[in-house]
Structure 1
Amino acid sequence: MVGASTTVLGGTATQATPIYPDADPDPFYAAPPDLANKRPGEVLATREQPPLLIFPETTVTLIKFRSTNSAGRPIAATTTVLTPRSHQPDGPVLSYQHIINGLGTQCTVSRALYSTDPNLQIREAVLLNALLLSGWSIALPDHLGPTSAYGAARLGGQITLDGIRAVRRVPELAAAHSRIAMAGYSGGGMATAFAAAMAPKYAPELEIAGAATGGVPMNLVKMLQAVNLDPHPAFGLLMAAAIGLEREYPSRFPISDNLNANGVSARKTIANACTNEILVTGAGHSVRDYASSMTLVGDRNARAVVEENSLELFDGIPKIPIFEWHSPVDPLIPTDSILEVNRRYCAAGVPLQAELTYSPEHLSAAVLGIPSALFWLAARFRGDPAPTNC
């Protein structure tokens, strides 16, 4: 996410030519012609999906709803709801923002659930099944939006909130008065954390019991400064985030106008790719390999895009309890930014429970923190007073 952003932080004011993903062949995902007349969170269509062997005794419902992109324009977004047979009317609903490291429409959660590609299948199936067995329904939004705008965290927050609105409005889900909570890690944590901070203004009518966020990249500016121009083993993901941000901010983040031949080739290779292909394509590369000029660093418009998607620099304050976990030695994210956000939330009176999970690797920290996060979420669903260790 970071190094590729450096490529465009000096992007000129020329007209960018983003490369968007191939349209999903399923017409269900298409935006209706009267989309602009719909309200955020309004249900556009629902469809019961085929049963999933990995989630036995569970109904799968795909919802298309109206949301809003980062420019304030209407978009059609989707969320998949898993409803266990044991779910009681108005029982708990968890909006779980899954990690989606991809630029293609086939990388979305709603597609990955049915993929036969082992690289795309949902790795948290065991965890999600445990929650389903507890009677919780689970909403899995495609929080990168219809153009797979990887890296656009504010967009993810808005789609998450509108997805919750939509879940409440589908009678068959029996969730109109459910206690609802949110959770997510890494990229999914970005969407979750932004949803929590944006809710008071974007969706003030929503009553959310709490949000559990882990391993959240809270300051993309600091991340790109840390990577600088050096080769990076995960540079493919960094490049993917730059492409995703250009899709969401085409005139303000014009990476396509600032790539050399190698950069253009890499962009074409990963424009419809998911995690593994993206990682392989960019492994060991750097900004120097793909940028057409090093004089591009410093453009105010491009930098503003990165800042707008950095939670540390966002002035919104959640009005719900927060559980936050991360490794203090995470090699991918600036942990000082997490501590600063926690400090600001505590000063504002947010009931925040922070937990350190000591792991030298980003993804393993997710596993270590999940048990405490789920215990915390269960308490929010019961209505217990939220703890704090501010």
Structure 2
Amino acid sequence: MLVRFAALLATLATPALFAPIASSPLPPSQDPWYTTPSGFEAASPGAVLRLRSAPGNITAIFNASSAAYNLLYRTMDSKYEPSWAVTTLLVPKHTNGSALLSYQIPYNSVDIDAVPSYALYDPAFSGTPPIYTDIQTALSLGWYVNIPDFETHTASFGVGVTEGHATLDSVRAVLDTGFDLAANARYALWGYSGGSIASEWAAELQAQYAPELSFAGAAIGGTVPNTSTILTQAAGQWWAGLFPEGLLGLTAEYPAARAYLLSQLKTTGPFNRTGFLVAENVGVEEAFAVYANQPVFEYFVNGYESLLDPVLQDILDNNGYMGYHGIPQMPLYVYKAAQDEIAPIEGVDELVSKYCSVGVNIVYERNTIGGHLAEEINGDARALRFLQAVLGGVYNHTGCTVRNVAVNITDSPM
């Protein structure tokens, strides 16, 4: 593996393709490193196009790591056209190179400067429970940690096919580069909420898109099996900011749909185009604050009816419904709050039932305590135990197990 890494460095040894460590990170919108070399379209999905030591002090932030790298790699969008994305790889201080965790962070934003490869430097982002502790724990266990900007350079939040492709190709990029990972290293996926979108779509797309990959498992929490439920139920909710972020993300790769979306926004009144497009330049936490409890359908000239046009529904049909693009080949651990207010549990029940009927190896735990935010904390240790088992090669569950649990680590009612 070290030989492969050295060979890649030699291949990318021009200043444009391999860059030495920089003193501090720049926002992607201002960093020329976030561009592709000419002719990148001819590269295979997962091919590394640029490689650098991650700038700044990221190994001080995640002090269980010894090194950090950014990889810019080739992937494919939801239309199976060439695209690219960036991933961050953290190397543990103490490791035998036997395990890689691909950790999909729920960044839920169409702001291209909100991607993990940049946002990880912000304590307000990286320090959000349980992101920091998850990464530190994984590194302390000797796992390499892969953190992809899975919405890709187009900020395609919620476009399931794109996010799944980008996640799979990030793993391809890391494995192909090596970084002292063992040839027989096990690798697994983990994602909660928005991270579950990328993780689950990667799991169901893997067999047809990346058949050479063999994941040890996938932990998927706060699962969002039907994107349309978020859009239809967002009005008046504390999480209404996901409405503009979601619509802008879904149309990012579809010019006709984006043009239609913009044509339907009001130009006057308290809920207008200018206010809606604020979402383009804010991270998810700020979006929650800006749009909290707003009647978000009021941004459109025809209210909710504006969302029913086929130009939008076609995107949702192809990218917003889990369970229609393949059968996960790896063991799944699915965890969900029964009172999840953002993505109702019934959709996850149906998805799990569908997978169980075709033989997927699943443990599904329905927590009777808490809501969407609480379960990110309440389910964390259980997901970690599953990942330790699959990455340690000792997981022995087979079949389909569905059970209710009552776990209350946080006092949060949501």
Structure 2: state its 5+ residue gaps.
Answer: 1-26, 403-414
- Write the deviation string for residues 265-301 of structure 1: whole angstroms up to 9, x where unpaired: 1233221111232122212222442002245343223
Aligned residues: 365
Show the 5 A alignment for 1:175-190.
Answer: 175-190=182-197
TM-score (norm 1): 0.88
Q: Residues of 2 paired with 1:286 and 1:308: CA distance?
A: 27
SS of aligned partner of 2:73: strand
Counterpart residue number, 2:246: 241
The residue number in structure 2 matching 1:155 is: 162
Residue 394 (structure 2) pairs with residue 389 (structure 1): no
Cα shift readout 1:231-263 (whole Å, capped 9, x = no counterpart) = 333222211110111112222353112111233
- 1:37-56 matches, cutoff 5 A: 37-49=42-54, 50-51=56-57, 52-56=59-63
**Structure 2 CA distance for aligned equivalents of residues 150 and 164 of structure 1:** 19
1:100–1:187 CA contact under 8 A, matched in 2: yes
Q: Deviations over 1:198-238 (max 9, x none)?
A: 000010110111101001110123444445xx433322221
Percent identity of equivalent pairs: 28
The alignment status of 1:82 with 2:82, answered yes or no, reads: no
1:176, CA displacement in angstroms? Answer: 4.4
SS in 2 for 1:27: coil
SS of structure 2 residue aligned to 1:218: coil
Moved over 4 A (4+): 119-122
- Between 1 and 2, higher relative CO (CA 8 Å, sep ≥ 6) is seen in 1
1:308 to partner: Cα distance: 2.0
Cα distance, 1:312–1:164 mapped onto 2, change above 3 Å: closer
Show the counterpart of 1:377: 387
Q: Deviations over 1:86-124 (max 9, x none)?
A: 1213x10000000102222221111012226x2565542
User: Distance between the aligned counterparts of 1:42 and 1:241, measured in 2?
Assistant: 29
3-state SS in 1 of match to 2:201: helix
When residues 120 and 88 of structure 1 are mapped into structure 2, their CA distance, relative to the original with a 3 A threshold, is: closer
SS of residue matched to 1:158:
helix
1:311 to 299, 308, 321: 321
CA distance in 2, matches of 1:313, 1:379: 25
RMSD value over aligned CA atoms?
2.0
**For 2:161 and 2:182, how far apart are their aligned partners in 1?**
25
Contact 2:53 2:69 in 1 (8 A): yes
2:275 maps to what in 1?
Answer: 266
Give the Cα separation in 2 of the matches to 1:24 and 1:355: 40
Contact 1:167 1:173 in 2 (8 A): no
Instruction: Work out the CA distance in 2 between the residues paired with 1:88 and 1:272.
Output: 41
Residue pair 1:380, 1:386 contacting (<8 A) in 2 also:
no
Alpha-carbon distance, 1:162 to partner: 0.2
2:128 and 2:239 mapped to 1: Cα distance?
21
In 2, Cα distance between equivalents of 1:175 and 1:71: 34
How does 1:321-332 map onto structure 2 within 5 Å? Answer: 321-332=331-342
List runs of 5+ in structure 1 lacking aligned partners.
Answer: 1-21
Q: Distance in 2 between matches of 1:121 and 1:101?
A: 16
Residues 119 and 78 (structure 1), Cα distance of their counterparts in 2 relative to 1, 3 Å cut: closer
